[in-house]
Amino acid sequence: MNCGVSLSAEIKYTEPEVKEARFDTADVNLLKVDRDKLASSVAAYVVNSVKDGADAAAMEKARKLLGFALHLSPRNRDAVIANFQFKKGLAKRKIQPEYSPVTLAEVLQSRAMFLIKNGGNLNVDLAGYMLFVAVQVDSTNETAIYELEMYRKDIGAIDWSSLLGEVTKAKGSK
């Protein structure tokens, strides 16, 4: 019985460190309104998909996705509230998503390809995170999976430490 208690104590949400939003800038080829809409959609996905009592992998996924959303739009209401609720262990209010998970993944994947074509380090970095998030949101999106694997092959692994504040231990990413 004590094992169950210590295990649940280990499964906590660790807030991503967002001191300066990396992608909330005019240097990114996405309009501020689009970044805000994507941040809201990702936050809605996280809140609606991560259940109470989730395992460590689900909490790490929530951390990555909310960190991504906060770097897109640091003042996004849905992302800020979701992050606070996860951090405090509070009940999460369901968010009415603008996109279904399938559509959100398609939007992220298509925007990522647009950013890669536009070039520039910041655009290409953002594209990598967008492809990762697209695959997390819809693991059946074969185009996003393929593009993420080609990104990893051509550009490199996704470095979450720049978005989350520390190196994470998830498989398949640095």
Residue among 74, 56, 98 at smallest CA distance from 20: 74
In a domain, 8, yes or no: no
156 and 108 inside one domain: yes
81 and 111 inside one domain: no
Which of 46, 78, 98 is the last residue before a domain boundary? 98
Rounded Cα distance, 100 and 91, in Å? 22
91 and 109 inside one domain: no
Rounded Cα distance, 174 and 124, in Å? 17
Rounded Cα distance, 140 and 79, in Å? 25
For the chain, what is the domain count?
Answer: 2
The whole-model pTM stands at: 0.85
Whole-number Cα distances in Å, 44 to 29, 99, 137, 149? 23, 9, 11, 26
107 and 122 inside one domain: yes
In a domain, 20, yes or no: no
107 and 93 inside one domain: no
Which of 41, 64, 98 is the last residue before a domain boundary? 98
Rounded Cα distance, 15 and 37, in Å? 21
156 and 120 inside one domain: yes
In a domain, 10, yes or no: no
More confident residue, 6 or 50: 50
Which of 49, 78, 98 is the last residue before a domain boundary? 98
* 25-58: pLDDT as tens digits: 888 999 999 999 999 999 999 999 988 778 888 8
* 105-147: pLDDT as tens digits: 999 999 999 999 999 999 999 999 999 999 999 999 999 999 9
Q: State phi, psi for 30 to the nearest 5 degrees.
A: -135, 135
Q: Is it the case that residue 15 has pLDDT exceeding 90?
A: no
Domain membership of residue 111 as a residue range: 99-165
80 and 103 inside one domain: no
Whole-number Cα distances in Å, 132 to 27, 57, 91, 135? 21, 15, 27, 5
In a domain, 37, yes or no: yes
What is the enclosing helix (H) or strand (E) of 49? helix 32-49
In a domain, 34, yes or no: yes
In a domain, 12, yes or no: no
